[in-house]
A = this chain, B = another copy of it.
Amino acid sequence: MNFFEGETKPISPLDALNGTAALSLDQLRSVLIRLEDTIIFNLIERAQFARNAAIYDENAPEFRQLNFKGSFVQYLLREMECVYARVRRYTSPDEHPFTPRHALPEPILPTLAYPQVLHPNDININDDIYRIYVQHVIPTLCNSVNDQQYGSAGTRDVECLQALSRRIHFGKFIAEAKFQDPNEHADYVRMIKAKDSQGIMERLTNSKVEEQVLARLRKKALTYGQDLNDVPSNEPQRPGTPLRGIHLADVVVDLYKEYVIPLTKEVEVDYLLKRLD
């Protein structure tokens, strides 16, 4: 079994291996569906705090004393990932650090033997995920002011980024399952040999399923984003009040439509193109 493997999901993707060493696409999908809740909860938690642009600014004077080449959020990512690396999180094939691996410590706990489900690869698009999150997600999610809640905002960012990274890199397992599917296998082999990335992308795309994902996300965001707090009506509007409900649903649907789904497919294509190496 797996350590950290099951983060934010009820079953492990490696549990989805059945006796024939084939991955169950249905079980992988149920992992992705559960991760939607985690991502929405994390976004709600982040949205209580203002944007605080300084925490993404590599030259912010507020954090000069950290003596770190990068933003405050990247500093927090590295520090947290050092803790996780020591307890062997990044030995699991579905975990990808934002910090370069050479900058992380060796595990203290002995590494577990994972079943070799994936073709060996070093695909990691966390740099893209970080950039998109900072440039496109945070500005629409958060109040644009600076409330100076830097630590609170930054730790929520770490949670959001890790959940998004798990979701997107899960594309490797999805791609492997599709590659192993007897009805698809020969076509994928042909397209991979022809380096036909466009053909692979088209084959991976199921617009009907993507529409279902977006509809389910809207339903979840509207449900979880409700403000159920019976604060007395004579209370002043609270500053930095969570952007919940309808606005949250727009943010979540847009995030998936514009970034999460395309990036997951990008991982799938990258993985498949190297599948026969």
Contacts and interface: CB of A to CB of B under 8 A. Distances in A.
Interface stretch (A168-176, A197-205, A229-237): A229-237
Nearest to A86: B79
Interface string A222-248: 011010111110010011111000000
A187 interface: no
Contact of A4 (B79, B109, B149): B149
Contact of A151 (B3, B12, B147): B3
Best-buried of A4, A80, A149 by chain B (most CB within 10 Å): A149
Interface residues of A, number: 67
Best-buried of A66, A219, A238, A239 by chain B (most CB within 10 Å): A238
Given A10-B239, A30-B238, A152-B6, A87 B83 contact: no
A241 B151 CA distance: 32
Nearest to A47: B10
Contacts of A147: 1, 6
A264 interface: no
A37 interface: yes
Given A34-B242, A41-B41, 20 more contacts: A6-B49, A7-B152, A8-B152, A15-B239, A30-B235, A30-B238, A37-B44, A38-B45, A41-B45, A76-B83, A79-B83, A80-B83, A83-B83, A84-B151, A84-B155, A88-B151, A216-B230, A219-B228, A220-B228, A223-B228
